[in-house]
Structure formats: C-alpha cells, structure tokens
Structure 1
C-alpha cells in the first residue's frame, strides 16, 4: 500500500515520463509529417483510422477529432476489416494505422488488401523498421524510450505520444483548411458553443435584453445611471428616431474626468464615440466575437447592435456567449 507521499510521487513520475515522451518526438516532425498532411488534404474520400487495443482507442479519438474539425473520417476495427469490412475502403480514401510495435497481427493482415485497393496509408508507430512502417506511404515516428508503467508493459507513454501526434495532425489540417470557430460551431450544434455561436446577434440581444441607451439631449450624469442598470459599462446614444449616434463607455467617462471637472453636467454628445464599431442584427454571434477580438488598436468588450437602417437594437457584451 502506498502512503500519501508515494502516491503523489508516483503520479508526478508518470506525468514526467509521458511529457518526456511527447517532448522527444518534437524533433522528429519533418517532411514525413508534411507529406501526411498533404495526403489528407488532397484525398477525395474519407480518412479511415484503424488500430486495436489501446491504440484502437487513440484511433477512435483521432477519427472523432478529424470529423469535428471538418475532415470526413471514421474508425475501422481491423478485426472486423479482415472479416468483410475492408469493403468500406475505396482507392479515394486514406488510411491511418496506429500500432506501437508496427507488427500487430490484425493490422498487418489487412495491409496487402489496402495496397491492392490503392488507398494511401499513413502509419503512426514506434518502430520504423516494422512491417506497418515499411508498408506505409508515409510513416510518423511515435517511438518512446519508456512506458510510464513501472514494468514497461502497459501502453501509457506510447499511447500518449500517439494521441499527441494525432492531435498535431488534426489541428494542422484544420488550420490548413482555414477551419474557423464558426465552422466548429456548425459541426457542434448540440453543444453550448454551437447553440450560442450559430445564433444571430438579434436573437442573443433579445435573449439578454440589453437595451442600454440614452437620448442625445441627456447629460453624463444620466448616462452613468443607465450604465449601472445595464451592468455592461456602456450605453448607446440615440436620436429621437432611435438612430444610433454614438456610444459612451465607463472608460470614456473616467478619462474625461481628468479634463472636465464638471463632466457630469456635460451633454453626452460632447464626449461620445461617434461612428463606433457596430454589428448588424443578422450577423452571427461568432462574427461579432471576431469583430470584438480583432478590434484595433485593442480588443473591445461591447458592440452596439443595429438594423439595416442604423436603428439601435441593443448592446452585445462579450460575456453574453457564456450565459
């Protein structure tokens, strides 16, 4: 039975060993990785990922990550493949096979048929001289010196490295495709991210009910009360026809206090930001987030929402996406 200190030390040692395994393969990322990415980007079919045992779980995860980031993929169990499921592979597909030894019999047995079909094969394994690596169109090195298991038997460091390599592959492909957070939300409509980011700004503003505005004849004293009630530190300035003229933020007021000791009595038009950055009601929330994050010279946290005729509809705050 381990004591408290031994439990902590064992956990730290496992993490150190696995981190060392990942760090050791960084220097092996080379032209083979580039070739693997190019093969996947140019394939006309699906990315079929296979593996058995612990690497099989990694294969499942890699396939799921590829699907969620816009690359058609599915997992193929090698034992099922050899009993008929090889029929799901076409010459337009690409195969990723994961095995630590590169000699896993269930995978080795399907390699000749894959070659006859004509589908390119990417191997992720720890032995460059193995049957799998030699059969592959492209080999990605996943070799580790030591499993985290004290007996150097249970797949631990090796599967962590396979997982990390798979993630590196999937994310590189995602970036090469220009896959955006809007695309991510599109493929995750059931998740909170998808539900919020695929909403139009109009729907979000209606849901949050942030109609923080003040008419142009009011003074700063009045604006502060509206800001306080809204809780977002900004207020839209409108005319009598509800046309947006500008906005005032709590930061604007703090800065102007240094210049005007009698600021509270000044008309809002005197310090408001004219021609502020806005977002149209029909744009997606994901687009509004990008506008706020990429605003120059610095990101902003609020956006006035307007319709096609510049009527003020409300304020969107960056925190609205988390509610």
Structure 2
C-alpha cells in the first residue's frame, strides 16, 4: 500500500506511516520532520470507522471553492434543497464542515436547534422529511461563539461528523467545506476516498479573474489528491432584476478568453452551468426560508434544477 507523504516531501520520503518517518536520512532538512517523527504511525483507524458509518450513503458530494465570498454555502443549500424537491422518494443529508464559519443552520432556518445523541450516534436535524443537516453550529452555546481550534482538533471533529452521525440510508450526502485547500479538505478527501459508493466534488466560482485564479488551484488540488471533479458552477454570473427581468453583468471579466467556460475547457473539467444573482436569495438565506418554494419562477431556480440534472447524470454514469 502506498504510504501517505506530506506536502513538499523529499524524493525518498519514507511516508508518515513508516517507523522511519522523521528519522530516515531523507528526512534531514524537511520542514515536516518533527511532525512526522512525533505523529502516530500506521493507517488512520478513522478511515475504517467512516467507511462503516457511510456504507448506506450511495453518493457523497463535496462543495468546494478556491476563495471565500463566492457563495459556496448558499450554493450548497440550493443543491441540497433542489435534490430533495426533485426526488421526494429519496433521502438527502447536508454536512457542514466549515468548522470556523458554520452558516448552514441559519441558511436552513434551524438556528438554535439541538442535536441528540443515542447509542447509534448523533441524530442530525431534519429540515424536510427527506433532508437532514449536521453542523458544529448546533454544538455551540451561542451563534456568536468563535471556534478557535488548530488543525488537529478540526480534523478530529470532521472525523466525528463522518463516523458518528446516524444518517441512516441516504442517496446523497452534500458536504459544505471552508474555502481553500487546507486541513479540512485533506481530512475529508482522505476519509471519503476510503468509503464505498460514488463520491466527487463540485467547485464554485464567480466570473472575476481573481476568483478563477483561485479555483484553478482548487482543481489542481483535486487532481493531485485524486478527487473526482463533477464540474464547475459559476455563481453570480449575471444579475436579473426581479421586477423588470433585465439582465446585467455586475462582475465582468476583462477578457472572454479567461471566462469560466474557457478555463473548464483548458483544464479538462465539466462546466455545469451559471447561477444568476437574485437579491431575494440572500434574504431567504438570512431568514432561513426555502428560496425554491418562495420564488419558483426565479431564473436561479431554473438554473439550479438544470445543474442538479447534470450532477445526477454524472453519478449515474460512475
């Protein structure tokens, strides 16, 4: 079995699972030498626990973004709600692993709810009959409480969420992540890679070049970690006035050659679609209302439905 190696490891790195981790001659001068020497050896026992817990979850979908502020959490809630609306006979779950910025309890209108623990694990909070949510936001004493944790403690919480939440049988588990490519993403991808069933990731960006630059790094991360990429969603692509339906571009890209579609073609990933910006969506998220039922004719609702069809098509073929 190939042993895990830290980022920027030397060519002859023994791997973190080896007894020689941090002690071999190749480790001299490596910035990770002390960490590898003091860390636990052998395979992570959490991988087996996560595999066992998620054995009844058919598909796992991570939602990633290269940078913050692109509407990743909002897109996650839209995807989960549309999944549940379109497939009433199926079951869906949302896992919020944005440990330091858990926003899903407010977005889904269940802020202040409590999770219960039993012999079978934590019970998620139900949003609809076929849609449930788990977030660290349910474990905080107040929405103003800050989670001030280092990487290992955040990773431990992610492992708990994946191995101790009693989801039951799910057709899709949608996972909201923090922006970037850091500890939380490494932990989640490592655990999900060891599970049965299909899994993959959707990346969210906005049209600006600065956002596209960061999502390129996210694509590179996924390819290096062998994470299946379902596709890219361009959020806030245009603004459609709710009253006059006039469409305006509020985040223009300086050159069409650097558009999201061009980037997808260049990096060989699928472009899933564009989500228009609707100011009523932000209000629904703040108030915890279901945007899909409040504003059924919004162009954003139509767009997210088409994106869901593309995502389902991907999982049906894999």
Larger RCO of the pair (alpha carbons < 8 Å, separation 6+): 2
Fold similarity call, TM over 0.5: no
TM-score normalised according to structure 2 size: 0.27
Q: Which of 1 and 2 has greater Rg?
A: 1
Q: Which has the higher helix share?
A: 1
Q: Which has the higher strand share?
A: 2
